[in-house]
Every structure is written in C-alpha cells, then in structure tokens.
C-alpha cells in the first residue's frame, strides 16, 4: 500500500484513534472483572475459587476461539467481527449480573465472555489496522493499539471500582455492559474488506487452507508461538501472583497494587517504543532483546532485598517489557505470512500466548501451595525468558517465504 496522500491523513488519524480507543475499552472492561470477586462472592455466597475458575475458563476460551474469530474476520472483515464481539460482551455481562447460580455465572463469564473478548479483542483489531495502513505505519499502529489497551486498563479499572462502591456491583456490571456497546460505533472505520480483497488482487487469491498449511509448515510460525507462550506465562503469572508475592515478602498490600498499576502505566511507553522500532529495525532482534531483558530483570530482582523501592523499580522496568512483544510479533506474522489471512494466523499464535497465560496463573499457585514460596516459579520464568529469546532468534525476518501459486477467487468458498 503506498504512503498516504496529505488529503488522506485525516482518515488515517481517525482510523488509528478508533482502533486504539476500541482496544483500550475492550481491555479496560475485561481487566475490571477481578474487582467483582469480593462483592459478588460475599453477596451470592460463592467461594472465591468458583469465581476464579470462571475467569480462568474465560482465558482458555479466549485462546481457543481466537483463531476461529480470526478466520471469520479474514472472510467477512474485522469491523463486523468486532461489532459481534461487542454485542456478545454486553450479553455476557448482563448474564453475569443476573446470574443467581455459579453454574450460570461460569457459562456467561467463562464461555460467552471468552468468545466475546476473542471477537472484539486486540488480535482482530490489530489485524484490521495492519491491513488498512501502509506498511510504514503498521508498527506504530500496533504499538499504539497495545499501549491503548494498557492505558484503558489504567483508566477504566478505577472508574469501575468507583461504580461498585457507589452503586453496587450489579449496577456497575450493567454499566460496563452498556459501555461495551460503545465499541459498535468505534468499529465503523475499521472496514478492511476492500483492503482484504486488494491483498489478493481482483483475479486471484490464496485459499485459507493453503495459507494455514503454509504457516503451520513454517518453523517461524512455531518459533513465534513458543515465544508468545513465554510472554503469556510471564504476564499471567505476575498479573495474578505479584501482589501475593509482595505480601509474602511482608510488604504492605498497597505495594502490590502499586506494582500492578506501574506495570500498566509503563507498558504504554514500552509498547509505543516497540511499535516505532518494529517499523525501523529488525523485528527478530527486537524480540530477542525483550525476552532476554525480562530474564535478566527477573534474575536480578530475585537476588536483591525485597523493599518497596526494589518492587516498584522492578515493576516500572517490567512494564516497559510487558506487552512490547506484540508489535514485533504481529509484524513478523505479516511479513512472513502476508496480511490476507493475518487475523487467522496471528490468532493461532495468540493461542500460544493464552496457553502460556493459563499455565503461568495455574502453575504459580500450584508451586506456592506445595512449597510455600514463589521462588521456583520465578526461576522457571527466568529460564523461559531465555528460551523465548532463543526461539525468537530462529525466526525468519528477511524476505518472506515463497508462496504457492494463487487460486481463482471463485474457489475461495471451497476453503
């Protein structure tokens, strides 16, 4: 796609703003669900483990359905899929608010919400932006989208907390259900249908099954997936267990909350920087540095005394590395496998991230229950970080792999 003319810049700015705000709203609303654990379980008489299982099931369903929604987005356009996801999210939240049994709450919070966040989540939004923008702007766009997600978390979560304290958990949940519908108009500019068709050209197009076989047969796809598994393991382990680790070090509970907030805040800068570098530098080397830096940072953190200052410094630096893996990973997917089926292929890579997330959250709890300490999990995360750097170093970041001969458009329906 050629560089935009001056007259088209306003449209590109609108596209970026809508994409970033959509990602921010989706992430912020999703990350606020943990605030409902205490009031809901107390009011409904449920155990905390039942609520936690529903949210863990949501993460798993998100990962499993992400490639499916990616395939749908590649066929009918990201705009429609995001709108479907926004509607599903509103339905899920209303169902959660009205659930009087843990079974129905698990259905709405785990299954319906898991499908919703896949449809209206970052992979589909990033794939649409990547198709709609010139190549020179793609890294910046994914960086902005990732940063927007964290900034949404930073802004939305306190508002939801204020709503719960002021109006009660049920009305607050109705409120975020209504807020989910704001994604409907925000998705309107993300009309990537024309760009999707232009990728293949008017006469020929690669079938989805051929593109998937090509990706699954390419070692780079698996190296990216294994690296993203490591990313998910780190993110979920720290998001779920960092406050508990801080408490186990006999530090005030507010230090754990501040640590999570700092990670989200500094991730804005980290994601924006990674997005810019993804457009100007080799993505493979950028991923190697990010994963290796995580390993060095965590190892150093384990070796120093745990004080309020050391925890907050660690959190700020980790925030710079938190989701900075996303822009170079999306860029490598687009470079190696093209943009025609990008939502599908990146959705499969993202499945690796969510499997890693499930593993990190679950394994951290198992290790702590059995040993009374998080030390073994931290060292496992350090080893995984250097493994992620190794996998990234093996990715191809030169000329794209040769593609098979294209097939007539009329046969796409056979895929």
Q: To which CATH superfamily is domain 10-200 assigned?
A: MFS general substrate transporter like domains (1.20.1250.20)
pLDDT of residue 130: 74
The 10 Å CB-count burial string (b at 16+, else e) for 281-291 is: ebbbebbbbbb
Measure the CA angle with vertex 282, ends 22 and 322; round to 5°: 45
Q: Domain limits of the chain?
A: 10-200, 204-415
CA dist 145 → 82, 122, 233, 356 (Å):
14, 8, 21, 22
Helix, strand, or coil (residue 205): strand
Instruction: Average the pLDDT over 259-270 and give the result.
Output: 83
- How many CB atoms lie under 10 A from the CB of residue 202? 8
Helix, strand, or coil (residue 311): helix
Rounded CA-CA distance 243/169 in Å is 23
pLDDT of residue 289: 95
pLDDT of residue 311: 92
Between 413 and 223, the higher pLDDT residue: 223
For residue 112, give both structure tokens. Answer: 């319906």
Mean per-residue pLDDT over the chain, rounded = 81
The 10 Å CB-count burial string (b at 16+, else e) for 369-381 is: eeeeebeebbebb
pLDDT of residue 116: 93
Which DSSP helix (H) or strand (E) runs through 372?
none
pLDDT of residue 253: 65
Between 401 and 315, the higher pLDDT residue: 315
Q: Residue 415 above 60 pLDDT?
A: no
pLDDT of residue 197: 52
Same fold yes or no, 10-200 and 204-415:
yes
Cβ within 8 Å of residue 281, ≥6 positions away: none
**Which of 287, 289, 288, 318 is CA-nearest to residue 301?**
318
pLDDT of residue 412: 36
CATH number of 204-415: 1.20.1250.20
Q: What is the DSSP letter of 119?
A: H
Rounded CA-CA distance 28/150 in Å is 8
pLDDT of residue 400: 53
Contact present, 277 and 139 (Cβ < 8 Å): yes
Task: Find tokens 């939502």 and name the residue.
Answer: 343
**Local confidence band at 262 (pLDDT 50, 70, 90 cut-offs):** confident
Q: pLDDT of 83-134, one tens digit each?
A: 999 999 999 999 999 998 989 999 999 899 999 988 987 778 877 777 777 7
Contact present, 15 and 190 (Cβ < 8 Å): yes
User: What percent of the chain lies above the pLDDT cut of 90?
Assistant: 28
**Local confidence band at 316 (pLDDT 50, 70, 90 cut-offs):** very high
**Range picked from 49-53, 115-119, 249-253, 334-338 for highest mean pLDDT:** 115-119
Lowest mean pLDDT across 83-92, 328-337, 352-361, 401-410:
401-410
Instruction: Average the pLDDT over 324-328 and give the result.
Output: 88
**Range picked from 4-13, 43-52, 245-254, 392-401 for highest mean pLDDT:** 245-254
pLDDT of residue 226: 95
Lowest mean pLDDT across 118-127, 134-143, 202-211, 239-248:
202-211
The predicted model scores a pTM of 0.71
Instruction: Average the pLDDT over 368-397 and give the result.
Output: 91
Contact present, 69 and 120 (Cβ < 8 Å): no
């Amino acid at each position: 796609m050629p560089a935009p003319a001056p007259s088209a810049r306003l449209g590109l700015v609108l596209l970026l703003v809508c994409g970033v705000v959509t990602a921010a709203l989706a992430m912020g609303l999703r990350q606020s669900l943990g605030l409902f654990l205490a009031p809901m379980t107390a009011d409904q008489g449920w155990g905390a483990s039942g609520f936690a299982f529903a949210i863990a099931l949501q993460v798993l369903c998100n990962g499993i359905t992400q490639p499916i929604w990616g395939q749908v987005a590649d066929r009918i356009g990201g705009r429609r899929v995001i709108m479907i996801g926004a509607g599903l999210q509103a339905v899920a939240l209303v169902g959660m608010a009205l659930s009087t049994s843990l079974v129905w709450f698990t259905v709405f919070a785990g299954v319906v919400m898991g499908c919703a966040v896949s449809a209206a989540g970052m992979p589909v939004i990033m794939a649409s932006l990547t198709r709609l923008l010139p190549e020179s702007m793609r890294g910046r766009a994914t960086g902005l989208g990732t940063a927007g997600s964290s900034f949404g978390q930073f802004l939305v979560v306190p508002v939801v907390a204020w709503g719960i304290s002021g109006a009660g958990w049920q009305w607050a949940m109705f409120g975020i259900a209504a807020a989910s519908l704001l994604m409907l108009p925000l998705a309107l500019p993300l009309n990537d249908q024309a760009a999707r068709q232009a990728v293949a050209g008017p006469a020929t197009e690669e079938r989805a099954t051929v593109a998937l076989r090509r990706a699954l047969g390419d070692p780079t796809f698996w190296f990216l997936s294994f690296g993203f598994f490591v990313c998910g393991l780190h993110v979920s382990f720290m998001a779920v267990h960092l406050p508990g680790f801080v408490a186990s070090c006999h530090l005030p509970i507010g230090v754990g909350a501040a640590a999570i907030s700092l990670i989200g805040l500094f991730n804005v800068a980290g994601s924006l920087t990674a997005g810019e570098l993804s457009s100007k530098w080799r993505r493979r080397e950028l991923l190697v540095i990010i994963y290796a830096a995580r390993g060095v940072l965590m190892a150093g953190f384990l070796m120093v005394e745990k004080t309020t200052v050391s925890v907050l410094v660690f959190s700020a630096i980790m925030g710079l590395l938190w989701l900075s893996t996303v822009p170079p990973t999306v860029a490598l997917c687009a470079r190696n496998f093209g943009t025609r089926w990008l939502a599908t292929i990146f959705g499969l890579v993202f499945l690796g991230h969510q499997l890693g997330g499930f593993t990190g959250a679950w394994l951290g709890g198992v290790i702590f229950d059995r040993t009374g300490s998080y030390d073994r999990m931290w060292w496992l995360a350090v080893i995984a970080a250097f493994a992620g750097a190794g996998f990234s170093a093996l990715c191809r970041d030169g000329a794209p792999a040769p593609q098979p001969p294209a097939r007539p458009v009329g046969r796409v329906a056979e895929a």
